[in-house]
Amino acid sequence: MNDFLRYKDIVFYRTLAGLKSEARKNYLGYVWFLLEPLLTTGVLYFAMSHLTGRRGAEAVMLILIGMLAWQWLEGSVMLSAGSITAKFHVHQQVPLPKYLFPLVDIGTNTIRFAFAFGLVLVSSLLVTGGPGLALLWLPVLLALQLALIVGLSLVVSISVTLISDLRLLIQSLFRMLFFVSGVFFTAERVPAHLLPWFHANPMAVLIEAYRAVILQGQAPDLGRLGTVALTAAVLLLTGGLIHSYFDKRLLKLTHV
Amino acid sequence: MSEPLIKLENAGVYYRGGRPKGADASQAPWALRGLNLEIRRGEKLGIVGRNGCGKSTLLRLLAGIIAPDEGRLRFSDTDVHVQLLALGVGFEGALSGAENAILSGLFMGKSRRHMEQRLKEIQEFSELGDAFHAPVNTYSSGMNARLGFSIALQTDPDVFLIDEVLGVGDHAFQVKSQAAVREKFREDKTVVLISHEARTIGQMCNRAVWMNRGDILADGPPAEVCERYENAKS
């Protein structure tokens, strides 16, 4: 119990520390949390509006929501991939559960996401004309994505520490997934025979659900969300098992 | 004699990270093998041995950083706080000395409150003055070491593991820091000190262990053990 409180403090404190140091390092500080996805959205919107002819505020929001949700996942998992190795000197001196380190990176990135997402949410509601009842689904969606992120990060953090080549592989996988997750397009553009494949990707399902809830005021597809929840549960379980097995073995298996 | 605080039974550790690619894991050299050791409450145990004899692995094992591959490590109760005297564990450059003191304390097993209550002592002992509230990346390496040492001193574990008696900072601070470490030896603390200098062990400990190639060659009064170690060396 004491340890639990201490670990909670470490995660909380280091998350804050990470945000602080980031803000102190860059001139624009926290503004980057929003500026970065805005810039990417600008590029994607420019390209997509020319290709599809979809223009206007809603098209921007569509991409922006997809972009933020995607960056929340990719940013967190890629940070987690390096988080144990980055603090190797700490692990050599104090016995700490290794999972704390990916959790800190997820925390930092989640606050970043929350900041930008909050602003996007408010402006989306202004565009669509006020919140609908469907918005009550939003916390469920966010919790599901967080579970997915934590599960994936737990697995990735140990795997990359053991086999560092995996980092490049995962990076490439993410790049590929980005294009098929519907970040800058909607399911309507996907050919019918490919739709089941499209929806097998939890991120595509989540992004679609965010848009339904925020922009269309519709409840998300529960069947598909169930599959996402199952995926997240499997990842969490696997990640937990991997961490408990490797926690005290990692230092004997790797050398940095 | 009190009951043993820590008990190592036939403990063995080997590293797989250092072996060349493709080599058989079972062929990896054992850093420790068949080690039996009991550490009692209040004991000042000195461990001598040459480089690569397994001293540091033993400390890591005791600190709970790695688990034994063979045998067991047992504590008299689960709450025993064992800690390595480490300098500057994971300082965050953009944070102040005070903020880092709390963070390091958390790393080393102390609560946030425990560290907050001791910030003043840390500031004083480290002689950092107002710089204590400035970001650590503006510190000189000496200031870093002083802060690290002052934090470690305030973490107050049940068992202190010390890897060589550290002298950090300039001469005046070295004298002060070594005096502080010696103070730990006078208190009713359990201390494990490793050193390749038999003289230090002879002066500061009340029991000595000589290690070689991951095994214990001698265990007993410091004067005797150190003499055997010195004789074997030459």
**0.90 exceeded by pTM:** no
Using CA coordinates, name the residue in chain A closest to B63. A95
Number of other residues whose CB lies within 10 A of the CB of residue B92: 19
**Which positions in chain B touch A17 (Cβ < 8 Å)?**
92, 94-95, 99, 103
Contact (CB<8Å) B17/A253: yes
A window 109-138, beta carbon within 8 A of B: none
Q: What pLDDT band is residue A74 in, cutting at 50, 70 and 90?
A: very high
For residue B170, which amino acid is it? D
Best of A92, A252, A254, A256 to disrupt the B interface (most B CBs within 10 Å) is A252
> Locate tokens 């995962």: which residue?
A170
Q: What mean pLDDT comes out for the span A64-81?
A: 94
Adjacency order of strands within the sheet including B44-48: B82-84, B159-163, B190-195, B44-48, B207-212, B215-220
Reported confidence tier of residue A237, pLDDT bands at 50, 70, 90:
very high
pLDDT in tens, A133-152: 889 999 999 999 999 999 99
Strongest mean pLDDT among A234-243, B84-93, B143-152: A234-243
Q: Are A181 and A70 in contact (CB under 8 A)?
A: yes
Task: List the single residue in A21, A92, A93 with the smallest CB-CB distance to B94.
Answer: A21
| Residue A194 CB contacts under 8 Å (≥ 6 apart), including other chains | none
pLDDT over 90 at B123, yes or no? yes
The vertex-B28 CA angle with B24 and B34, nearest 5°, equals: 130
> Hey, of B66, B108, B162, B166, which one would you mutate to test binding to chain A, going by the most A CBs within 10 A of its CB?
B66
Interchain CB distance below 8 Å, B107 and A96: yes
Q: Which of A158, A171, A11, A152 is nearest to A85 (CA)?
A: A158
Q: Give the bridge partners for B73, in sequence order.
A: B8
Residue type, A80: S
Residue among B107, B108, B155, B161 with most chain A CBs within 10 A, to mutate: B107
What is the DSSP pairing of strand B70-75 with strand B4-14? Answer: antiparallel
Is residue B182 a contact partner of residue B204, using CB atoms and an 8 Å limit?
Answer: yes
E strand or H helix that includes residue B97: helix B97-107
**Smallest CA–CA separation between A89 and chain B, in Å?**
7
Q: Who's near A89: CB < 8 A, 6+ residues apart?
A: B89, B90
Question: Lowest-confidence range among A127-131, A227-231, B176-180, B225-229?
Answer: A127-131
- State the complex-level ipTM: 0.76
Cβ contacts of residue B20 below 8 Å, gap of 6+? Answer: none
Q: Which amino acid is at A216?
A: Q
* Chain B interface mutation, best of A94, A249, A255, highest count of B Cβ atoms under 10 Å: A94
Q: Does the distance separating the beta carbons of A252 and B94 come in below 8 Å?
A: no
Beta strands in chain B (DSSP E): 4-14, 30-40, 44-48, 70-75, 82-84, 159-163, 190-195, 207-212, 215-220
Tell whether A26 lies on the interface with B, counting CB pairs under 8 A. no
In contact, A182 and A207? CB cutoff 8 Å: yes
B151 to chain A, closest Cα gap in Å: 14
By Cβ distance, the residue of B16, B89, B95 closest to A90 is B89
Residue in B with minimal Cα distance to A18: B92
Distance, CA of B37 to CA of B225 (rounded, Å) = 15
Mean pLDDT for the stretch of residues B28-44: 86
Distance, in Å, from the CA atom of B222 to the CA atom of B204, rounded to the nearest integer, reads: 9
Helix ranges (DSSP H) in chain A: 2-25, 31-52, 57-86, 88-91, 100-128, 138-162, 166-180, 195-199, 202-211, 222-246, 250-253
Which residues make Cβ contacts (< 8 Å) with residue A241, sequence separation at least 6? none
Q: Which residues of A touch B65 (CB under 8 A)?
A: 91-95, 248, 251
CA A234 distance to own-chain centroid: 17
- The minimal CB distance from A21 to the residues B17, B90, B95 is found for B95
Mean pLDDT over each residue of chain B, to the nearest integer: 84
**pLDDT-derived band at B19, boundaries 50, 70, 90:** low
A12 vs B: CB within 8 A? no
Residues 29-88 of A with CB under 8 A from B: 87
Q: How far is B85 from chain A (nearest CA, A)?
A: 8
Over residues B135-151, mean pLDDT = 89
CA distances from B98 to A94, B116, B151 (A): 20, 9, 10
- In B, minimum Cα distance to A1 occurs at B79
CA-nearest residue of chain A to B83? A94
pLDDT tens track for B158-207: 898 988 766 677 888 888 888 888 888 888 889 999 888 888 888 888 99
pLDDT digit string, tens, across residues B47-96: 988 887 888 889 989 988 888 988 999 888 877 888 888 776 778 887 88
**Distance between B4 CA and the closest CA of chain A, angstroms:** 22
Under an 8 A CB cutoff, do A90 and B93 touch?
no
Average pLDDT value for residue range B8-26: 70
Distance linking the first and last C-alpha atoms of chain A: 32
